[in-house]
A and B are shown apart, each in its own frame.
Chain A
Amino acid sequence: MTEGETEQEEKTIPFYPDHVTNEAKLALAILVVVVVVGVLALWFPVGLGEPADPMNTPLHTKPEWYFLFLYQILKYLPKTLGVILPILGLLILILWPFFDRRKDTKRARSARVILAIVGVAAIIILTLLSELS
């Protein structure tokens, strides 16, 4: 109802109150989820494992789940390469806008979607492999 039009014939909504209300509703929803997690924890707390024992390495020691894909890569590649390759990947990721400077096209976007899907799938598969082995 309060939509405005810019010179480029684009539909916009005013930040306040429309978008602020959208964001407030989303924030409230997240808060509700967080509170539910908290309340559930009163019956199912996170808990702890055994106290740390530097003399005693447990059998299945693994990093946190968001590092598992890196851990799995290390199992396949020799030690140095297995460390260098992810770092190289990270550098490429950080500097991506300086590699990809062309004007954006629908084709390029589809290519990026495919790249993203493949990348995420690879990471998920590596994580699962690491978790289950």
Chain B
Amino acid sequence: MRQRKHIAAVIALVSLIFIVIPAIWAPRAQAEPFTTVPPENHPELNDPVLLKPFMEMETFPLPEQDTCQHCHLPGEITGIWTPLFRWILFGTMGLLFVYGTYRAGSVWINRKPWKPLWARAVDWIDERYDVVEPALKILKKPVPLFATRWMYCLGGITFMLFVIQCITGVMLAFYYKPTPEEAYASILFIENEVRFGAAIRAIHHWSANGMVVMVVAHMLRVFITGAFKSPRELNWVNGTLLGLFTLGFGLTGYLLPWDQRAYWATTVATEIAGGIPQIGDIALVFMRGGWNVTAITLSRFYAVHVLVLPVAMIILLGLHFLMIRRQGISRPL
């Protein structure tokens, strides 16, 4: 793009799309009528849970003071469909359109041999970071046919379920409240009020069970094919620890809904830990944060479930993959 008229054309087009047209056509936020009754089309201001901060005020905030209208248009207060998001979405599409238009210009096509856009992006990165060569080395690694059998997929399936758990877990953590007073209600809120909350929770619940099944199946496969033998002993130890962490996730996560089943199942489980000779009492008090299952137990289990175990799991998973990559997949008999 060396000629000035090209640059001028792009600037004119971009300013037309993003400045002139929005200045003329973009909708303006309308001032809401100033009443003490929440407006009908303002769902958040009619929700008793979310209404709490407004209870202290004598009148509802003026439109310019209404925090919601910082991002939303009045009457359109649902989810991420805000002016900013629309700007980003349509702006990105607009930019892509502009770029595509520009690239389609014959002057550009005649300058160099045509290369797909993604190939140009890869070249740009490769010039700076030299990643293509090691990446190709990884990508070209031959995979022996025995490793494409179904039972060699079990570990990968477990890992994928773990990733799904991380994603759904974060989404649940956005709404879950880890105190005995609010935990139960927050889960009800997720299931009933949050959009697709019931779906996310069910995915998290069933993927947890699925992950336990898959991790055991994967371990059995490794055991049966003798892939634990030298020089892979350390990887086996690593793998059993990963399996234990999976059970740990299950144990700590089960308490979080704070319903009868969760509370008493945790009581039973920690009692069993208390039965270990010599260290049983210490183990029980450490797990429960006291002699009984209380709010401290819930906080402790939540911290382990959301901070300790994920970090430990990711570190051990990294080592697991590194070791496999370095030593290669073990050959069966």
B156 touches A26 (CB 8 A): yes
A26 touches B240 (CB 8 A): no
A101 to B94, CA, bound (A): 64
Given known A11-B144, A97-B228, A112-B223, contact A50–B260 (CB-CB < 8 A): yes
Interface: B236 (CB within 8 A): yes
Picked from B139, B157, B188, the residue with its CB within 8 Å of the CB of A48 is B188
A109 to B232, CA, bound (A): 17
The 5 closest A-B pairs by CB, nearest first: A41-B202, A38-B199, A12-B142, A52-B263, A97-B233
A20 to B156, CA, bound (A): 12
Contact with A along B249-278 (1 / 0, CB 8 A): 011001001111111110111001001110
Nearest to A64 among chain B residues (CB) is B254
Shortest distance from the beta carbon of B15 to any chain A beta carbon, whole Å:
42
Q: Which of B23-31, B50-58, B204-212 contacts A (4 or more CB under 8 A)?
A: B204-212
> Interface residues of B, CB < 8 Å — how many?
72
Shortest distance from the beta carbon of A120 to any chain B beta carbon, whole Å:
7
Shortest distance from the beta carbon of A47 to any chain B beta carbon, whole Å:
7
Nearest to B180 among chain A residues (CB) is A52
A41 touches B199 (CB 8 A): yes
Q: Which residues in chain B, 18-52, are within 8 Å of chain A measured between CB atoms?
A: none
Shortest distance from the beta carbon of A5 to any chain B beta carbon, whole Å:
9
Picked from B157, B265, B277, the residue with its CB within 8 Å of the CB of A61 is B265
Q: Which residues of B contact A66 (CB under 8 A)?
A: 209, 212, 247, 250
A105 to B272, CA, bound (A): 40
Shortest distance from the beta carbon of B118 to any chain A beta carbon, whole Å:
15
Nearest to A50 among chain B residues (CB) is B260
Interface: A40 (CB within 8 A): yes
- Which A residues have a C-beta under 8 Å from some C-beta of B? 3-4, 6, 10-16, 18-20, 22-23, 26-27, 30, 34, 37-42, 45-54, 56-58, 61-67, 70-71, 74, 79-80, 82-84, 87, 90, 93-98, 100-101, 103-106, 108-109, 112-113, 116, 120
Given known A57-B264, A120-B220, contact A42–B139 (CB-CB < 8 A): no
Interface: B1 (CB within 8 A): no
A11 to B146, CA, bound (A): 9
Shortest distance from the beta carbon of B186 to any chain A beta carbon, whole Å:
11
Nearest to A27 among chain B residues (CB) is B160
A23 touches B156 (CB 8 A): yes
Main secondary structure of the interface of A (DSSP, over half): helix
B142 touches A4 (CB 8 A): yes
Given known A12-B145, A50-B259, contact A96–B264 (CB-CB < 8 A): no
Contact with A along B140-180 (1 / 0, CB 8 A): 11111100100001001100110010000000000000001
Shortest distance from the beta carbon of A49 to any chain B beta carbon, whole Å:
4
Most chain B beta-carbon neighbours within 10 Å: one of A67, A97, A100, A108 = A97
B224 touches A94 (CB 8 A): no
Most chain A beta-carbon neighbours within 10 Å: one of B203, B232, B250, B267 = B203
Q: Which residues of B contact A52 (CB under 8 A)?
A: 180, 184, 258-260, 262-263
Nearest to A87 among chain B residues (CB) is B276
Given known A41-B202, A51-B259, contact A10–B265 (CB-CB < 8 A): no
B257 touches A48 (CB 8 A): yes
Q: Which residues in chain B, 179-227, are within 8 Å of chain A measured between CB atoms?
A: 180, 184, 187-188, 191, 196, 198-203, 205-207, 209, 212, 216, 220, 223-226
Given known A63-B269, A97-B229, A116-B224, contact A45–B203 (CB-CB < 8 A): no
Given known A13-B142, A52-B259, A96-B236, contact A46–B275 (CB-CB < 8 A): no
Shortest distance from the beta carbon of B225 to any chain A beta carbon, whole Å:
8
Nearest to A96 among chain B residues (CB) is B228
Shortest distance from the beta carbon of A64 to any chain B beta carbon, whole Å:
5
Nearest to B184 among chain A residues (CB) is A51
5 chain-A/chain-B pairs, Cβ below 8 angstroms = A51-B184, A51-B258, A52-B180, A61-B261, A70-B272
Picked from B226, B257, B269, the residue with its CB within 8 Å of the CB of A109 is B226
Nearest to B269 among chain A residues (CB) is A63
B198 touches A42 (CB 8 A): yes
Shortest distance from the beta carbon of B272 to any chain A beta carbon, whole Å:
6
A19 to B206, CA, bound (A): 28
A105 touches B333 (CB 8 A): yes
A14 to B251, CA, bound (A): 41
Picked from A14, A26, A47, A112, the residue with its CB within 8 Å of the CB of B142 is A14
